[in-house]
Amino acid sequence: MDIHDLTRQLHVKNDTKIVLYVADGLGGLPQKPGGLTELETANTPNLDALAKVGISGGSIPVFPGISPGSGPGHLGLFGYDPIKHLIGRGALEATGIGFHLEQGDVAIRCNFCTLDAQGNITDRRAGRIATEESTPLVTKLRAVSIPGVELFVEPVKEYRFVLVLRGKGLGGHVHDTDPQRTGVPPLAPVAADDESKKTAEVCAEFFRQACQILAGQPKANACTLRGVSPKPHLPSYEEVYGLKAGAIAVYPMYKGLARLVGMDLVGNAQTLDEQMTVLEENWAKYDFFFVHFKYTDSTGEDGNFDAKVKKTEEYDAAVPRIMALKPDVFIATGDHSTPSMLKSHSWHPVPTMLVAKNCRTDACQKFGETECLRGGLGQFEARFLMPLALANAGRLTKYGA
Amino acid sequence: MDIHDLTRQLHVKNDTKIVLYVADGLGGLPQKPGGLTELETANTPNLDALAKVGISGGSIPVFPGISPGSGPGHLGLFGYDPIKHLIGRGALEATGIGFHLEQGDVAIRCNFCTLDAQGNITDRRAGRIATEESTPLVTKLRAVSIPGVELFVEPVKEYRFVLVLRGKGLGGHVHDTDPQRTGVPPLAPVAADDESKKTAEVCAEFFRQACQILAGQPKANACTLRGVSPKPHLPSYEEVYGLKAGAIAVYPMYKGLARLVGMDLVGNAQTLDEQMTVLEENWAKYDFFFVHFKYTDSTGEDGNFDAKVKKTEEYDAAVPRIMALKPDVFIATGDHSTPSMLKSHSWHPVPTMLVAKNCRTDACQKFGETECLRGGLGQFEARFLMPLALANAGRLTKYGA
């Protein structure tokens, strides 16, 4: 069942404003069983006050037990089935560095690697070469030239870079050339379907010229090509929800994900305070705002419980500036949990709260994992958050007579 | 996933009785956030007593955020996926006036409209002509005659009437002839698929003859044809559940919906008391009873909180007569919420309670929206209620070995 089959036909326009305020990796775990999570430990008076008048619950990013990456995590929040709409790894990598993929582009994650004199791989990550060393090599690779295809070679970090192919008739499905072991040469690029035969040839020619350019380099004298993928076909917010949507994010990955669903990137904020200013300044221009806060995730990934508590308090402290704008629907949630105890994304349902005039308030008195368990949203798949937001904004008409 | 794929192969017959007691639009909202809903305000001692021994929860009619019409709302309660089994608007309109559609019939909602001398529409609803004026005109339209096709022209209300086509080879997909604006003529009927070409021709001929018959009428001198749709293909209760089912409803719409899934229409009750008498008199004859109470919805639609409270108390007051019959499974629920604060159907989960010997009672002490949040049924899609009813009646065997 595709949510958009219904929202496409049922959405109506009005003057309401919806704010989706995302704390990346919001959900957590206590340091000891039975203790408090990061969110529950944090002093969050603003979110707690809203919990009393809103409706709370636990958002399940994909399905129970699945820990999503940033791509599926955000697609779910945006209302796109994260299983149906998979963003290929190359496309996600390009998105993450802020590269603007066009329809028909093919994106590829590349690794620098080390080959011996016989052409066999001795190091699949080129000695984890530093970014300062690899960036000039990426620049050199821009000399690769293949007739009929426009090439973009962009640095990412350390041994990783992105290659984007732009041209006619390039299918997006070629198998990885990384053999996943050393002592053998990189694999030849093999098309996974008929439409991708030309793409495989372009990949082979890129590899040939890249090896020439990199010849003599002590570490990064070759590369592997992985995660070949087309620009994903995601219908836009305007089409499926009738929403003019703006994204206020700091990191390229989240800006990129928002752009993939047709949101405008608004402002150039570098801090949460600046994000709030951008929100205020652009309040009249959009129906829907996606505001992304990164640091609840990064502190969780670092395994720093106290730092995540502190970042959660920063996330809370900005809430009054949002509420002063009187959004018709305010949602606080995360794209997934990142418990500092696990130092990674996890599968745990994410504390979520929706505040709107007719939301049917529950008995929740605070915003936190345990309290959300008795919330009126229950536990729900993240992709249902957008239809709920639209309904609470009076933007969905009745289904069937 | 189709529930019926499993129930079809797993159902068994026994002597149990199931009562599905539906208060239309049961769910509500408080008059102020944090207050009590209509159901929570109402004095419902009988339902409250049952909540202590039953299992409660919140029924989601379609999916979160979707406000269903009566068609999808009831299909969900009956266990039919309301997205997969869409009842076309013409078919629903025919159903709503108690017209018994046969396999192969095509049903059409028609509007009287006003054309000027040039044949352009000046009023799409013929001045909202009163029912007393329009009904004689509908009768006149029965003079339309088209070889090879049986026509039924039935009044609905004001400017609306229903046309049903019965004959061989009539596809059910023709585009609306209502141009949705004035100053232009009605559109010609266009088939949406090859199977409906003859249907489009019949529609065009009906329109031609109707205009002749209506010529000279001051308001209703023509009509538009909309929502052309076939009788929906719904498998019967007998086939998918092995249940001999009877419907005890007052309004034609709910009788019609019940008949679409193969229920018998039982009795001719006009009041809830009479419905209870019909239930008692026919207790031995059926495995399953659908008892429909309309007024919790209509008072909600009217925006009359107090009246909805009162109607909810009437709904409660009839419960002892049902329970005196000792049903093996008793379910109290609604097809959707109709909060009087919204004066319309809404998306909010519907308070639902199932009472049966082995239902695994929860801690709920009353029947109401807030209390249901801690119920053992959790929040669930309405379509899962029927398999739960069957299971609690001992009518489903094990799936797989």
**Closest among B234, B343, B242 to B288, alpha carbons compared:** B242
Q: How far apart are CA B143 and CA B151, in angstroms?
A: 9
Which residues on B lie below 8 Å from A378 (Cβ)? 58, 373, 378-379
* Among B205, B230, B255, residue at a domain's last position: B230
Is B67's Cβ below 8 Å from some Cβ in A?
A: yes
pLDDT for the residue B86: 85
**Residue A368 CB neighbours (<10 A):** 24
Q: How far apart are CA A152 and CA A164, in angstroms?
A: 5
Same domain for B15 and B64? yes
Same domain for A381 and A243? yes
* Among A197, A230, A263, residue at a domain's last position: A230
With CB atoms and an 8 Å threshold, state whether B72 touches A390. no
Residue A279, domain member (yes or no): yes
Q: Helix B70-77 crosses helix B252-260 at what angle (to 10 degrees)? A: 50
- Largest Cα–Cα separation, chain B: 73
Is A375's Cβ below 8 Å from some Cβ in B?
A: yes
pLDDT for the residue B33: 82
Q: Select the residue of B29, B73, B83 nearest A358 (Cβ to Cβ).
A: B29
* Among A230, A252, A276, residue at a domain's last position: A230
Is B82's Cβ below 8 Å from some Cβ in A?
A: yes
**A291-341 tens-digit pLDDT:** 999 999 999 999 999 999 999 999 999 999 999 999 999 999 999 999 999
Residue B73, domain member (yes or no): yes
**Closest among A376, A393, A396 to B69, alpha carbons compared:** A396
**A133-172 tens-digit pLDDT:** 999 999 999 999 999 999 999 999 999 999 999 999 999 9
Same domain for B134 and B78? no
How many independent structural domains does chain B possess?
A: 2
Same domain for A127 and A241? no
**A207-218 tens-digit pLDDT:** 999 999 999 999
Which residues on A lie below 8 Å from B85 (Cβ)? none
Same domain for B385 and B253? yes
Q: How far apart are CA A141 and CA A45, in angstroms?
A: 52
Same domain for B190 and B96? yes
**Closest among B247, B244, B204 to B228, alpha carbons compared:** B204
pLDDT for the residue B24: 98
Residue B64, domain member (yes or no): yes
Residue A179, domain member (yes or no): yes
Residue B397, domain member (yes or no): no
Please check the confidence at residue A401 and state whether its pLDDT lies above 80. Answer: no
What string of DSSP letters covers B282-318?
TGGG-SEEEEEE-HHHHHHHTT-HHHHHHHHHHHHHT
Angle at A192 (CA atoms; ends A191, A196), nearest 5 degrees? 50
Is A378's Cβ below 8 Å from some Cβ in B?
A: yes
Tokens of A29: 């775990």
**Closest among B25, B44, B41 to B315, alpha carbons compared:** B44
Q: How far apart are CA A262 and CA A229, in angstroms?
A: 19
**A12-45 tens-digit pLDDT:** 999 999 999 999 999 999 999 999 999 999 999 9
- Largest Cα–Cα separation, chain A: 73
Rounded to two decimals, the ipTM of the complex is 0.90
In this prediction the pTM is: 0.91
**What is the pairing mode between strands B288-293 and A150-157?**
unpaired
The percentage of chain A sitting over the pLDDT mark of 90, rounded to a whole number, equals 97
Q: Which secondary structure element, helix H or strand E, spans residue A310, and what is its range?
A: helix A305-317
pLDDT for the residue B401: 84
Residue B82 to residues A393, B23, B66, B86, B234, Cα–Cα distance (Å): 23, 19, 11, 6, 11
The percentage of chain A sitting over the pLDDT mark of 70, rounded to a whole number, equals 100
DSSP A285: G
The percentage of chain B sitting over the pLDDT mark of 90, rounded to a whole number, equals 95
Q: How far apart are CA A244 and CA B313, in angstroms?
A: 45
Same domain for B261 and B204? no
Looking at the DSSP bridge assignments, the partners of residue B352 are B57
Arithmetic mean of pLDDT, A87-94: 92
Same domain for A269 and A124? no
pLDDT for the residue A243: 98
Mean pLDDT rounded to a whole number for chain A: 96
Same domain for A98 and A58? no
Same domain for A253 and A129? no
- Write the Ramachandran bin of B62: left for phi over 0, alpha for psi from -120 to 50, otherwise beta: alpha
Structural domain that includes position B54: 3-86+233-392
pLDDT for the residue A96: 87
Residue A398, domain member (yes or no): no
CA dihedral A51, A7, B345, B279 (to 10 degrees): -110
**B36: CATH:** 3.40.720.10
With CB atoms and an 8 Å threshold, state whether B64 touches A387. yes
Residue A399, domain member (yes or no): no
Tokens of B198: 């003859």
Residue A243, domain member (yes or no): yes
Q: Select the residue of B69, B86, B378 nearest A398 (Cβ to Cβ).
A: B69
pLDDT for the residue A139: 97
With CB atoms and an 8 Å threshold, state whether B347 touches A396. yes
Same domain for B216 and B109? yes
Angle at B105 (CA atoms; ends B102, B106), nearest 5 degrees? 145
Write phi, then psi, for A146 (nearest 5 degrees): -130, 120
pLDDT tens for each residue of chain B, 401 residues long: 799 999 999 999 999 999 999 999 999 999 988 899 999 999 999 999 999 999 999 999 999 999 999 999 999 999 999 999 989 889 999 988 989 999 999 999 999 999 999 999 999 999 999 999 999 999 999 999 999 999 999 999 999 999 999 999 999 999 999 999 999 999 999 999 999 999 999 999 999 999 999 999 999 999 999 999 999 989 999 999 999 999 999 998 999 999 999 999 999 999 999 999 999 999 999 999 999 999 999 999 999 999 999 999 999 999 999 999 999 999 999 999 999 999 999 999 999 999 999 999 999 999 999 999 999 999 999 999 999 999 999 999 999 98
Residue pair B20/B291 in contact by the 8 Å Cβ criterion: yes
Question: Would you mind telling me the total number of residues written for chain B in this entry?
Answer: 401
Is B369's Cβ below 8 Å from some Cβ in A?
A: yes
With CB atoms and an 8 Å threshold, state whether A357 touches B33. yes
Which residues on B lie below 8 Å from A390 (Cβ)? 65
pLDDT for the residue B274: 98
Same domain for B155 and B106? yes
Is A368's Cβ below 8 Å from some Cβ in B?
A: no
Angle at A339 (CA atoms; ends A263, A41), nearest 5 degrees? 100
